[in-house]
Amino acid sequence: MSNILPNLETFAKGAFATAAGVSTVGAGLLWYGQNYLIYPSAFPPGSRTDVPIPSDFGLPYEDLVLHTPDGVTLRSYLLLQSKVLDNPQTAEIAFDRRETDEQFRASRPLVMMFHGNGGNHGHRIPLAKTFFLRMRCNVLMLSYRGYGKSDGEPSEAGLCTDAQAALDFVKSDPVLQQCPLVLYGQSIGGAVSIDLASRNPDSINALILENTFLSLPRLIPHALPALKHFSFLCHQKWDSASKVPLIPAKTPILMLSGLLDEVVPKEHMRQLWEIVASRGQKRKGNATTSSNNTKPGLERAKFIEFEDGDHNNTCVQPGYWQAVADFVASLAYMDTASSQKS
């Protein structure tokens, strides 16, 4: 892990805030120009053309070209496991010497990475490297439309379509469809993850959410205080608060929150956690009830706060990756326990 952290620190220093940094704009700009504020895909300069590749970090990969139903071409990365990887940082893992690389690959988790709203998916390769080498996960790094070298223009509907196209690809692949599927989303990528899981409740095995928000209209008073009275004009909703209850209580969720987050107030993650923990409760009017006085969603969910984590450096806080690794490793145990109960 010590060899991987320098790369993660480099990533954190170059990470990008969810808000575009604009503090005073007119209500008209909020309505007509909000896509440019919410999806600054050209920031920092060169992000549409200068896209790092996994081999720059010593990782084997495939260029994954996806075509969405509305005719947009996405240029993403796919990192696939082999029994033996030619990298000194690779974690040792037990496997049957008689199995093929494809059989080994099918037995490992597949992490679908949904990044934040600035930069491109190539800037997140150090994170993918940790999943790939330390946890021996397959990794699909999605490049949203209008980001990196993908075609199109970003929007809420568009990013949701892109995520679904990636999931459909996985479900159609004879090897990848066998992998436990984990969604990893940072900031707006957390909203993409929640939306995808809410629409495909039987296809997602687990979610990892970092510094994401209840909804964009509820984020505006903090991110753009001058426009707090015009939040109703925000047509890019990303209403995660209403979608989390659609994710089954049996789906494990790990939530990671930086208490110094200057973009997404910690209260957003805390309120999302309450909703996550309440999954599976029966509703009576405006109240929720549970037969055993516990929150069913708590059985497979965990919430961790990092005292010194801000919006961009939570992923390099002490204990972050150990928590992620423990969570990923626990998925096999959870599935085994469920099988024994049934």
| Residue pLDDT, tens place only, 122-137 | 999 999 999 999 999 9
* Spatial contact of 130 and 203, defined as CB atoms under 8 Å apart: no
Q: Is residue 34 part of a domain?
A: yes
Total structural domains within the chain: 1
**CATH code of the domain containing 160:** 3.40.50.1820
Q: Is residue 284 part of a domain?
A: no
Asked about 115 being catalytic, the answer comes back as no
Q: Is residue 287 part of a domain?
A: no
Active-site pick, 123, 150, 155, 261: 261
Asked about 50 being catalytic, the answer comes back as no
Q: Is residue 286 part of a domain?
A: no
Asked about 198 being catalytic, the answer comes back as no
Please confirm whether the linkage preceding 217 is cis (ω < 30° from 0): no
In tens digits, the chain (342 residues) has pLDDT values of 445 444 655 554 444 433 333 444 455 556 667 888 899 999 999 999 999 999 999 999 999 999 999 999 999 999 999 999 999 999 999 889 899 999 999 999 999 999 999 999 999 999 999 999 999 999 999 999 999 999 999 999 999 999 999 999 999 999 999 999 999 999 999 999 999 999 999 999 999 999 999 999 999 888 767 666 677 778 999 999 999 999 999 999 999 999 999 999 999 999 999 999 999 876 555 444 443 445 667 789 999 999 999 999 999 999 999 999 999 999 986 654 444 444
pLDDT in the model for residue 261: 97
Q: Is residue 285 part of a domain?
A: no
Residue 239 belongs to what domain range? 5-279+293-341
Q: Is residue 32 part of a domain?
A: yes
Active-site pick, 187, 193, 257, 278: 187
Q: Is residue 106 part of a domain?
A: yes
Q: Is residue 52 part of a domain?
A: yes
